[in-house]
Amino acid sequence: MDFPAEPFRIKVIEPIKKTTREQRIQQLEKAGLNVFNIPAEMVFIDLLTDSGTSAMSDNQWAGLMMGDESYAGSKNYYHFEESIRDIFGFSCIIPTHQGRSAENLLFSVVLKKGDFVPNNIHFDTTRANVLHNGAVPVDLVIDEGLDPHCEHPFKGNMDIAKLERLIEEKGAGQIPIILLTVTNNSGGGQPVSIENIRQVHRVARKFKIPFFLDACRFAENCFFIKEREPEFAKTSIVEIAREMFSYADGCTMSAKKDGLVNIGGFLAMYDTALYEKAANLLILVEGFPTYGGLAGRDLEAIARGLQEVLDEDYLAFRIGQVRHLGKMLSESGVPILKPVGGHAVYLNAREFLPHLPQSQFPAQALTVALYREAGIRAVEIGGLMFGMTDSETGQERYPELELVRLAIPRRVYTSMHMQYVAHAIAQIHKQRDSIKGLRLLYQAPLLRHFTARLAEVS
């Protein structure tokens, strides 16, 4: 039955506020037309991110009360370790306060200046941490992964020929690690197949390069594998996850996604020498190895969340809810990136607002319109986030895609909320000609989208 209703009922509610259009216009003015500057209380439906925004279960909240806040050897750490070993297999586990901290620890101990790091597509923090350690991030997703209309089932796959070419060109000595992000967030939350993971594993073995997964959305990836890779049609999600991680030497994980918690992450591996180096650095920057940057109660919530996320009814609902939003939008003629990925629907702003040149930030103009007209907060993934001013020529350089991401928090919004979002965006689409372009008033030299201020082009 294609009817993935919420496999939970609601026990605690958090009121959200409906604001008036006038109030929202005022907020936008104060915020310099940047939705990052708007207080969350003034947002009706917050689709800025699916990271750290999940609702925890009664079982997880009960776990918080079992927090053992001992400095060393907290019982929650052992449970956390057991839960991770059960699914991921890795013997050495380092808790961190979130995903980017795991990335930083790993790259600090494996990278040196001038190295290259292949990935399908690096997420911003992964890219920034690679660069911070003097190495060069290289995105090697298959060509289909960059085409917003291509319906390939595994658009997150790595291009194996490109990977081998990179290693042969640079030499394996210049590539201390191969990464693969499941699902591929920056490419639209698109999954990677087990077949592709096996191929990357073979290349990594051939050249003796460690292979790590960026596992933030591993369970969503496993659900797509079950759905789309015939060999796994009858395999349980946990077995698919075990198979997936059996090909990797380690992983980084932001538990703020498929850990179903509001804070936390970890770095895991088999290599004890690597573990020792990372754990020594952990003590310096995060904390003792049995708590990392977390409280005992947080470790308990992660231990429980990682098991809950494997529930097939939950995943059918989760992927189904995101897909249903995409379907409603598509049926109203709203241009979206296809196929719909695991955690978000991406609006194609260039097609939504064809009258705006990229120099007028169409994706940000659409993000502003979603908030102004409907109180929906999304995130721009286009010229504002990835464009840059060439320091020599003073010319702006823009990315290929101008997208607006509607990231859906886990277990937070109901299907009626999703209908509201689809209906509001369809209305905005009908009045798209009235949406004006934007110009920059202020930009920081790095990661400018967080703090930029803009104005409408008159």
User: Contact residues for ligand PLI (CB under 6 A)?
Assistant: 49, 51, 98-100, 123, 125-126, 181, 185, 214, 216, 254, 256, 265
Minimum CB separation from ligand PLI for residue 154, in Å? 16
Between CA 41 and CA 17 the distance in angstroms is 7
Minimum CB separation from ligand PLI for residue 131, in Å? 14
| C-alpha neighbours within 13 Å on the C-beta side of residue 131 | 9
Contact by Cβ (8 Å): 200, 161: no
Minimum CB separation from ligand PLI for residue 351, in Å? 23
Contact by Cβ (8 Å): 215, 179: no
Q: Which is nearer to ligand PLI, 256 or 318 (CB)?
A: 256
Q: Which is nearer to ligand PLI, 98 or 348 (CB)?
A: 98
User: Which tokens sit at 128?
Assistant: 């920034």
Contact by Cβ (8 Å): 253, 95: no
Minimum CB separation from ligand PLI for residue 186, in Å? 7
Q: Which is nearer to ligand PLI, 213 or 356 (CB)?
A: 213
Q: Which is nearer to ligand PLI, 218 or 429 (CB)?
A: 218
Q: Which is nearer to ligand PLI, 33 or 251 (CB)?
A: 251
DSSP 49-73: -SSS-PPPPHHHHHHHTT----SSS
Q: Which is nearer to ligand PLI, 263 or 426 (CB)?
A: 263
Minimum CB separation from ligand PLI for residue 399, in Å? 16
| C-alpha neighbours within 13 Å on the C-beta side of residue 135 | 28
Cβ-based neighbour number of residue 59 at 10 Å:
12
Minimum CB separation from ligand PLI for residue 341, in Å? 11
Q: Which is nearer to ligand PLI, 102 or 334 (CB)?
A: 102
- Residue spans of beta strands (DSSP E) within 97-199: 116-119, 136-139, 178-181
Between CA 132 and CA 166 the distance in angstroms is 21
Minimum CB separation from ligand PLI for residue 37, in Å? 17
Between CA 8 and CA 17 the distance in angstroms is 23
Between CA 213 and CA 241 the distance in angstroms is 12
